[in-house]
Amino acid sequence: MEISKTFHIEAAHRLPNVPEGHKCARLHGHSFRVEVHVRGPLDPQLGWVMDFADIKSAFAPLFEQLDHRYLNEVPGLDNPTSENLARWIWERLQPRLPLLARIVVQETCTSTCSYGGPADA
């Protein structure tokens, strides 16, 4: 069974490698929506895959590094596209959350990246 927890991150970025004149080369901000998906067996006694609060605790150090930040200054995020942000989150979260199944980064209402780990690269 799969569950997910959603986080809202306010952050600024610019994309340094886009072609000249691309609007995303300019500094701008987003209200990022990040979904952390966890997949595993249902515990018959507790009636859950894992406590939503434990997903929140695992994500908290990453939230602190991302929220209200200029993402380009975060180590490992010099080109903070949705794709790179999803992978950055996965690499740091998976060791603490072995049941991690997917990271979804929604940059705008209409633009989303969904990443299921290295096999999904």
Ligand X SMILES: Nc1nc2c(c(=O)[nH]1)N=C([C@H](O)[C@H](O)COP(=O)(O)OP(=O)(O)OP(=O)(O)O)CN2
Q: Is 30 a catalytic residue?
A: no
Measured CA distances, 96 to 2, 20, 57, 81 (Å): 17, 39, 10, 24
Is 111 an interacting residue with respect to ligand X (CB under 6 A)?
A: yes
HEC string for 90-110: HHHHCCCCCCEEEEEEEEECC
Q: Would you call 68 a catalytic residue per the annotation?
A: yes
CB of 80 to ligand X, least distance (A): 8
Question: Site for ligand X (CB under 6 A): which residue of 76, 108, 118, 120?
Answer: 108
22 catalytic residue (yes or no)? no
| Gap between the Cα atoms of 104 and 107, Å rounded | 10
Residues marked active site are found at 24, 68, 107
Residues near ligand X (CB under 6 A) are: 15, 24, 28, 81-83, 107-108, 110-111
